[in-house]
Amino acid sequence: MCGKKINIKQKLNFKKRALRSYFLHIEMDNGMENITDVQKQFLNNGMVYLQMRLPIEKITEGFENTLREKIERNIFRANIREAELKDLSIITDIYNKSWLTSSTPFRPIQRGTLKKIFNDQNTVFLIANIYGGDGGFVILDFEGENNEYGVIAGLGVLPRFQGKGLGTILGMAAWNYFKEKGLKELRCEVYEDNQKSYSFIKGLNFKEFERIVYRIDDNELH
């Protein structure tokens, strides 16, 4: 999955188009005179995302055991599998339901959008199955000139399983996947006002190293 170098500029443009679609959604659905103060802030100032990273060498056996002990206290067990094309409708449903409890600006995603991401040969979707049903997913990506960085590009958990360790299970599945590929560092980003997600990512030992503002203006990333 990680044999080809990624066109980083193309991925950034895709990110900007997705965000621009969110802003367009605000304008078309509500009208500029009816949007909320929070939405006005996004339109005027952009959206700040914290860039987080975790060197593979920091994922020690002791830290992994600590996380496993926390997970084992939960009553459920999750089976992780790599997603297939037929799973995209399930992932779309989980995504749209999971973000309803988030403070991150949200617009429902369409299956077609996920399919474009899924078809990128550098992207992998993992799904967590609980009690015979799918309860969460994580999207993995490869970045860097030599695909040396493993990126957790997205993670979603159904509301009824949130706060019960399923996100941690998916996080560990992600870094195990990347470790097997011989990568040197894991990365992800989180919206600055999403304290719940930030606390979760920080709890996995990720550290902030940069902040990026995604703006409605398509000319530059600041």
* pLDDT tens column, 136-166: 999 999 888 888 899 998 889 999 888 888 9
Burial of 8 (C-beta count, 10 Å sphere; 0-12/13-18/19+): exposed
- 8 Å CB contact between 174 and 167: no
128 band by pLDDT with thresholds 50, 70 and 90: very high
Q: What is the pLDDT at residue 51?
A: 92
Beta bridge partners of 143: 149
The token pair at 76 is 């459920």
Task: Flag whether pLDDT at 28 surpasses 60.
Answer: no
Contacts of 191 (CB under 8 A, 6+ apart): 47, 48, 49, 50, 103, 104, 105, 197
Share of the chain above pLDDT 90, in %: 24
Q: How would you label 128-150 residue by residue, b for 16+ Cβ within 10 Å and e otherwise?
A: bebeeebbbbbbbbbbbeebebb
210 band by pLDDT with thresholds 50, 70 and 90: very high
**21-25 average pLDDT score:** 42
- Higher-confidence position of 57 and 41: 57
Greatest CA span in the chain, whole angstroms? 55
Axis-axis angle for helices 37-45, 8-30 (nearest 10):
140
pTM of the predicted structure, to 2 decimals: 0.74
- What are the residue ranges of helices labelled H in 50-194? 61-72, 88-98, 111-118, 166-180
